[in-house]
Amino acid sequence: MPFISADNAEIYYEAHGEGTPVVLAHGAGGNTLVWYQQIAHFARRHKVVAFDHRGWGRSRCEPQHKHARYFAEDMRAVMDAAGVERAAIVCQSMGGWTGMQFALANPERVACLVLSGTPGGVQTPGVIEARDARARSRTIDLDRPIPWNEPHLALAPDAFDRNPAMAFLYRQLSGLNPPIGDTGTGELGVSLDMLEGYAIPTLMVAGAQDRIFPLAILKEVSQVVPGAQLHIIAQAGHSPYFEEADEFNSVVGEFIRAHKS
């Protein structure tokens, strides 16, 4: 179990397979374990690196250092330790802030960027309105105890009806994390001015039933990120990589192959 020392943290990561590198950055409800369907698929042709954000999974830090401002540097440290100079970066939800911040600071190290269920911190009117509405209502609480048969907010509303084992597994894997608390992502916005000259091939994957970042918001973001493509997965909620892995892996794999140079 490799760990690296980062800024006031110990970051857990793992690497599987050989080939053109793919780096996975999980969301607030996840950790390295939630990528099991992607690692098993992509490690056959790629070197796949997954890590736990500081304060999630097996990574450790004091509460005052559990903040998104460190995430991009942690990713760079993980890539350095894993011997990865340049990679396809695949991000889910909170991990989108990691990937976008890293891409803006280190464009030469990003072959392409996949943003799944996330605006990546890009500040559009819809993103700002949704953020402010959540702050006022406080209706999104990923730390709330969930009855065994209630779909996690990060899944589609009918997740338990369609695939109860999958829905229950997500809740169990998410439950291995310490309480989430404030991730600090709200302090790391990406203005439209910051995207001037942005040239990294970017794919946004959106679940049509996403209850955290609704489809309309992700469509709006896809229209302001230069050159971004948008793929919508009809049966998925906030976590298309987990809920509809076959479609996700196929679409993302094709995108990575098209931009592997």
Using a 10 angstrom Cβ sphere, with 0-12 exposed, 13-18 middle and 19 or more buried, the burial of residue 26 is buried
pLDDT for res 150: 80
> How many whole angstroms separate alpha carbon 211 and alpha carbon 133?
13
A 10 A CB-CB count for 223 gives 10
Nearest to 214 by CA among 117, 122, 95: 117
Is the backbone of residue 120 left (phi > 0), alpha (psi -120 to 50) or beta? left
Give me the residue label for tokens 């953020």: 131
Nearest to 93 by CA among 35, 41, 150, 37: 35
Phi, psi of 85 (to 5 degrees): -85, -40
pLDDT for res 135: 64
CATH number given to 3-258: 3.40.50.1820
- What is the pLDDT confidence band of residue 261, given thresholds at 50, 70 and 90? low
Digit-coded pLDDT (tens) for 174-228: 989 988 888 888 888 999 999 999 999 999 999 999 999 999 999 999 999 999 9
Task: Report whether pLDDT(45) > 70.
Answer: yes
Residues 6+ apart with CB under 8 A from 184: 66, 67, 68, 69
Average pLDDT, the chain: 93
Each domain of the chain, given as residue ranges in start order, spans 3-258
